Chains A and B, each alone.
Chain A
Amino acid sequence: MQALKILVVDDDPVTRTLLAKRLSKEEYQVDTAQSGVDAVRSIADNYYDVVLTDLMMPGGVDGIGVLETAKEHNLKTEVMLITAHGSIDNAIIAMKKGAYDYLQKPINFDELILRLAKIQNLKHLMKNASDLRLAMETTEQVSSETIQNLEMTVAALEERISNIRTILQRAGVSAEERISMALVG
Chain B
Amino acid sequence: MSLTTPGNISRNTSPNSAAPAPKPELKPIPGMRKTVKITPAEVQLFSKYIYGLCGINIEASKSYLLETRLGRMLENEKCDSFTTFYHKIKSDPSKKLEHQMVDAMTTNETLFFRDTNPFELLKHKILPEVFDRRMGKSGAIRIWSAACSTGQEIYSIAITLRELLGPTPTINLKLMGTDISDAAIKQASYGVYNKFEIERGLPQERLQRYFSPSGETWRIKDEIRSMASFQKFNLMGSFASLGKFDIIFCRNVAIYFTFEDRVKLFEKIADVLEPDGYLIIGATESLTGVCPRFVPKRHLKAIFYQLK
Contacts and interface: CB of A to CB of B under 8 A. Distances in A.
Interface of A: 75, 96-98, 140-141, 143-144, 147-148, 150-152, 154-155
A149 to B, nearest CB: 9
Given A75-B195, A75-B199, A151 B296 contact: yes
Pairs A-B, 10 closest by C-beta atoms: A144-B283, A144-B284, A151-B296, A148-B303, A154-B288, A75-B195, A155-B296, A143-B284, A96-B215, A151-B286
B215 A152 contact: no
Interface of B: 115, 195, 198-199, 215-216, 283-288, 295-296, 298, 303
B287 A151 contact: yes
28 contacts: A75-B195, A75-B199, A96-B215, A98-B215, A98-B216, A140-B283, A140-B284, A141-B283, A143-B284, A144-B115, A144-B284, A147-B283, A147-B284, A147-B286, A148-B298, A148-B303, A150-B286, A150-B288, A151-B286, A151-B287, A151-B288, A151-B296, A151-B303, A152-B296, A152-B303, A154-B288, A155-B295, A155-B296
A144 B298 CA distance: 13
B268 to A, nearest CB: 21
B192 to A, nearest CB: 15
Contacts of B296: 151-152, 155
- Which residue, B199, B216, B283, B284, has most C-beta atoms of chain A within 10 A? B284
A144 B255 CA distance: 14
Contacts of A147: 283-286
Classify the interface of chain A: helix, strand, loop or mixed.
helix
A142 B303 CA distance: 15
Contacts of B287: 151
A140 B114 CA distance: 11
Contacts of B284: 140, 143-144, 147
A97 B298 CA distance: 46
Given A96-B215, A144-B115, A152-B298, 12 more contacts: A75-B195, A97-B215, A141-B283, A143-B284, A144-B284, A148-B303, A150-B288, A151-B286, A151-B288, A151-B303, A154-B288, A155-B296
A96 to B, nearest CB: 5
Nearest to A144: B283
A92 B254 CA distance: 46
B121 to A, nearest CB: 12
A97 B214 CA distance: 8
A58 to B, nearest CB: 27
A96 B298 CA distance: 48
A16 to B, nearest CB: 28
Nearest to A154: B288
Contacts of B215: 96-98
Contacts of B283: 140-141, 144, 147-148
B31 to A, nearest CB: 13
A133 to B, nearest CB: 8
- Which residue, B215, B283, B285, B295, has most C-beta atoms of chain A within 10 A? B283
B301 to A, nearest CB: 8
A162 B115 CA distance: 33
B304 to A, nearest CB: 11
B47 to A, nearest CB: 26
Contacts of B195: 75
Contacts of A98: 215-216
B25 to A, nearest CB: 31
Contacts of B298: 148, 152
A103 to B, nearest CB: 19
